[in-house]
Structure 1
Amino acid sequence: MIKQQVVNSKFKLDLILKITQAINENLSIEDLLKKYESILFNELKIGKIAVFKFNSSWERLLISGIDNKITDRIKIETDLASHDDITYISTDFPEHLCCFDFLIPVFHKNSVLAYILIGDLDEEMEGMSPAIKHLSFIQTISNIIIVAMENKRMHRQLLAQEAIKKEMELASKIQNLLIPNHNSLPQNEYISSQGYYQPHFEIGGDYYDFINFNNQELGFCIGDVSGKGIPAALIMSNFQATLRALFNPDTPLDELMNKLNKKVCDSSSDEKFLTLFIGVYNYTTRKLRYVNASHHPPILYNYKTKETTHLKKGCIGLGMLDEIPAISVGDIYIQDHSKLLCFTDGLIELDKGDKMQIGMQLISNLFSNNKNLHDTFLDLTRHIELGKKNKAVVDDISLFGIEFKA
């Protein structure tokens, strides 16, 4: 008797050694399953097995020795989920489970990771059935195998997430290169400028730019693609390249908008569109020509008269229709010391219940005063940082300002 127990113990230790060696050899999940199936059928003489494992949902991991039509009828939530220990499958179970003998739950971190159904091949065999004889051992090796599979899956998922994270970090760095940095913002005897850019995720669909055409003219724009994240960022990056290629002081703004609209329609899906404000300022004549394509109207504040003007003239957003029905180009002379604020809708959508809410009125109050542009931007960015602290930021945020000197 003792000799037989020693033989059985050595037999089981040898099987566990085979399993741990297979795990240490970093076999694939498919190969681990084959090893597990081989041990159950060839070594332990189990005749039927069904393994259901939970990833994001329940899936059939292994079905062997049993008709798939039977396992198709198994509903995890109603047939198995109420059992948290090894359970003999009696007549109280649904009829389609009666071809199995035992239900074995597998736990991982206090949660059920898998359910295993086992049964004998020969229902009328003499002596102790393999399912009963090896029941606890089957539970042990099942835990080892299933948890090893889960760890491999989680490790693979972690590697994939790390790869995505690195790609997103690289994409973020590349996108940031498209946005003017502090040192490249135009500063001269005619104007000074400030800018702020904060995507909601690592990358976003906002964009602003300054282009010094010559010693007399400055081009600038701000845009916002509908949506957030990678799709919006891809459209905006493509748009930035297109705009840089087409935007020049010799091309009328209405003609430019038609060209840009065609490019956006060609490169984006039907549900994506882009709002844009674009302008050209002449230092000598102090004339500003602009088009507002369904963007939030920039705010122009006159230090001398204390008047506020919203720059609204323009057209529909780019990509909304194959052809823009009508385009109105705005012309304005900036005769006095003034400042202009251009922004995306993320600035006025900072909202967190009663904790914080920024709308157009507050933005206008923060901007429409006689503070210089630098101090004005300190006020604006202070509110943005407060919104980030309160988790009130729900969209990409971009803004820039131009102070037109007297």
Structure 2
Amino acid sequence: MSFASSKRLKLSTFKLNALLGMAQAISGEMRTEDLMERFRIILNDDLEIDRIAFFKFENKWELLLSTNCCDGLESQINVEEDLLPFTDISFVSTSENRTLQEFDIVIPVIQNNAPLAFILIADTKDLAKGVSATIKHLNFVQTLSIIIFVAIENLRLFHKTLEQEAMKKELELASKMQNLLIPNQDNLPQTPEVQIHSYYHPHSEVGGDFFDVITLDKGEIGFCIADVSGKGMAAAILMSNFQANLRALFTHDITLTGLVEKLNLRVMETAKGERFITIFIGRYNPTRKSLEYINAGHNPPVFFDSETGQISFLKNGCVGLGMIDEIPVMNVGSLRVTSPSKLISYTDGLVEFAQDNKVVLDHSVIEDCIGNGQSIKENIENIVQIRLEQEESKQIEIFDDISMLGFEFK
């Protein structure tokens, strides 16, 4: 075998091994930086193509590799203007862009008529020895470039899949955590003096609503309904911490103002100002027939007195928790429940919905259902049925979680 033939065989073997090695890397765990470095070594060191620029599109055009190029290459080559016109391998040494003139050839990578990458190459060494390396190895570089691009895309999709799986697991965990926090109807305390009924429906897999009912000393009942800003694991963790603090702090002896102040500090410590919680918190004493409450930026619950037929909204309170370090003004509301009455507390998903391309705030469904002789259980079931029928008939679009916590005072 002649020396020239041996040299060609050796080069062909090298190229074949290089392509096989890159193809194997597609299913490996290499980083994009590692693939780019392999590409550089093959072109710079083995093929003596010493100038390379590798542009790839992912949301925007990015320069992944630049060797032996001028500083500020990204600002001097506008991919949209300078490279998109090239749909085939082309010479660029006569381009109007002076920076582009420093390269010999552009290799576009196109898929479904969409340009996804551009590789610029040049051999800046002395051409006295014969054909330029960019011309000599052009077909190989094109094939290698496509393999590199596929490898990078596979890595991107692989990591995207991992992120999606992680997010899915996070949502599943947050959903399970939330389901543990929301009390089951069977676990709500029921007494001859007070009947309690609830409803909970998250709009997405993980909602931001929360409610709880706590049996206190001397027959008192403490309760709270809340809406955490945001969704996902962060909101679920904040909600979990809030419930733990609520149950630890809410005792017969503590005042509602003292309780809300402490809860606000705990929310500030946990959320660090990035999230907040609106709450309606109350305490009912069946012996004195008294209801005291604080509305911290929450939707005002609806109270119905069956003796007078009067409906009122419980608004006294303060700003939401986690908004400011110290709450400057806090008003405690109080009611004497001397006649059979009902109370429905709820979250904004019940009264805020989309209708005719506008967001509507409407409490009428609660007022219409609560002001009758039916039980609180029937009232809440009727409200749910009305909203479901409205949504199914496309009259409204519900876009948030719906929670209700209702009380019937005998």
1:336 aligns to 2:348 (yes or no): no
Structure 2 segments unaligned to the other structure (5+ residues)? none
114-123 vs 94-103, greater mean Cα deviation: 114-123
Which secondary structure state, in structure 1, belongs to the residue aligned with residue 144 of structure 2?
helix
Identity of aligned residues (%): 43
- SS of corresponding position for 2:251: coil
1:162 aligns with 2:165: yes
1:101 maps to: 104
Q: Which position in structure 2 is the counterpart of 1:403?
A: 408
Mapped to 2, the partners of 1:378 and 1:142 lie a distance apart of: 63
Q: Is the 8 A contact 2:56 2:64 kept in 1?
A: yes
Query: Aligned letter for 2:146?
Result: N
The 5-angstrom pairing of residues 205-216 of structure 1 reads 205-214=208-217, 216=219
Give the counterpart letter for 2:138 in structure 1: L
Cα distance in 2 for partners of 1:263, 1:306 equals 40
Paired with 1:172 and 1:387, the residues of 2 have a C-alpha distance of 27
1:260 and 2:245 correspond: no
* Contact 2:302-2:366 at 8 Å conserved across structures: no
**Does 1:76 pair with 2:101?**
no
Matches within 5 A, 1:190-201: 190-201=193-204
Give the drift of 1:241: 1.8
Alpha-carbon distance in 1 for matches of 2:126, 2:113: 34
Q: Alpha-carbon deviations, 1:89-128, whole Å to 9, x = none?
A: 0423311111101111113455332111011132644533
What is the match of residue 32 of structure 1? 35
With 189-198 and 97-106 compared, the bigger mean Cα shift is at 189-198
Q: Which has the larger displacement, 52-61 or 13-22?
A: 13-22
Question: In structure 1, which of residues 43, 66, 73 is the aligned counterpart of residue 69 of structure 2?
Answer: 66
Amino acid at match of 2:95: D
Structure 1 position 169, deviation (Å): 1.1
Matched, 1:283 2:283: no
Paired with 1:325 and 1:4, the residues of 2 have a C-alpha distance of 85
2:399 to 387, 394, 397: 394
| 1:368 matched to 2:371 | yes
How far apart, in 1, do the equivalents of 2:335 and 2:39 lie? 78
- Residue 5 of structure 1 and its aligned partner are, at CA, apart by 8.7
> Residue in 2 aligned with 1:182?
185
Deviation at 1:51, TM superposition (A): 0.5
Give the AA of the match of 1:186. P
Q: 1:171 to 1:227 in 2, by over 3 A?
A: closer
Aligned to 1:244: 247
- Report if aligned partners of 1:204, 1:230 keep a CA contact under 8 Å in 2: no
Contact 1:205 1:235 in 2 (8 A): no
Structure 1 runs not aligned, ≥5 long: none
CA distance in structure 1 between the partners assigned to 2:85 and 2:59 by the alignment: 19
Partner of 1:217: 220
1:276-308 per-position Cα deviation (integer Å, ceiling 9, x unaligned): 211111233332222222322110123444321
**SS across alignment from 1:394:** coil
Look up the equivalent residue of 1:402 and give its one-letter code: F
Find the residue that maps to 1:177 and give its secondary structure: helix
CA distance in 2, matches of 1:271, 1:177: 24
Whole-angstrom distance in 1 between the partners of 2:390 and 2:159 = 36
- SS of the equivalent of 2:282 reads strand
Structure 1 pair 316/148, CA: closer, same or farther in 2 (3 Å)? closer
Structure 2: which amino acid aligns with 1:397? I
Once the two structures are overlaid, the 10-residue window that deviates more, 338-347 or 376-385, is: 376-385
For residue 142 of structure 1, what is the aligned residue in structure 2?
A: 145
| AA of the residue aligned to 2:400 | D
The 2-side partners of 1:123 and 1:397 are apart by 74
Q: Secondary structure at the match of 1:196?
A: strand
Q: Distance in 2 between matches of 1:386 and 1:128?
A: 77
Q: What amino acid is aligned across from residue 157 of structure 1 in structure 2? A: K
Which of these residues, 89, 92, 102, is aligned with residue 92 of structure 2?
A: 89
Distance 1:40 1:68, change over 3 A: same
- Write out per-residue CA displacement over residues 7-41 of structure 1, whole angstroms, 9 at most, x where no aligned residue: 87656434322322343554333332232222223
CA contact (8 A) 1:356 1:392 kept: no
| Partner secondary structure for residue 68 of structure 1 | coil
Deviation of the 1:344 alpha carbon = 1.7
Comparing 66-75 with 380-389, which one deviates more in the overlay?
380-389
Distance in 1 of aligned mates of 2:145 and 2:106:
12
In the alignment, is the contact (CA less than 8 A) between 2:342 and 2:407 conserved in 1?
A: yes
Aligned counterparts of 2:270 and 2:20: Cα–Cα separation in 1: 58
Please identify, of 366-375 and 148-157, the stretch whose mean Cα deviation from structure 2 is larger.
Answer: 366-375
Q: CA 1:355/1:372 → structure 2, altered by over 3 Å: closer, same or farther?
A: farther
Aligned to 1:381: 384
Which secondary structure state, in structure 1, belongs to the residue aligned with residue 283 of structure 2?
Answer: strand
